[in-house]
Amino acid sequence: MQILTWEESKKAEQYFQLAWKIAQNATCERSKCGCIIVKNNIIIWQWRNTPPHNLESQRRCTCDKNSYHRKVTDKTCCIHAEQRAIMDALKNHPNEIEGADLYFMRLDKEWNMSKSWKPYCTICSKMALDTWIKHFFLWHENGIAKYDTEEYNLLSYQYNE
């Protein structure tokens, strides 16, 4: 992980601002998240978290995560913003995703930008790694962090609260 310099952070902040705007349109009732995928300073895709196909019949936002069996490994209610962005980028820009950068933003309860936790989602980290996304960016309390995607995946498996 590398914390960006002040100069590097200025460009990244623009992408996080856009991810924040996208997250405001998330239809998940539990968490509002947005994601931007960028290559060569061009946004190749953006998305937010939603139920599968945005179908109300698939919404799980009010389910208690502890009610699921231990074999249900992803207890989140919606498809993650990162997953959506990666899947849509593969569909719409399949030749652009390799070497791209991913920026992720979550909103707090007042819809402000929320600082990120340590890497923890192995589903998104594996998906980013498998599609050759180069870097994963998170905005932490101590600054904007740039992770090599392989490192991000390894750290996701080491996460413990």
Average pLDDT rounded to a whole number, residues 124-140: 96
Question: 112-127 pLDDT, tens per residue?
Answer: 999 998 998 999 999 9
Q: Any idea which of 74-78, 84-88, 157-161 has the lowest mean pLDDT?
A: 74-78
What is the pTM (predicted TM-score) of this model? 0.89
CB 49 within 8 A of CB 28: yes
Does residue 75 surpass a pLDDT of 60? no
**pLDDT above 70 covers what percent of the chain?**
84
Q: Where are the domains of the chain?
A: 2-158
> Which CATH architecture group holds 2-158?
3-Layer(aba) Sandwich (3.40)
Measured CA to CA, the distance from residue 96 to residue 154 in angstroms comes to: 24
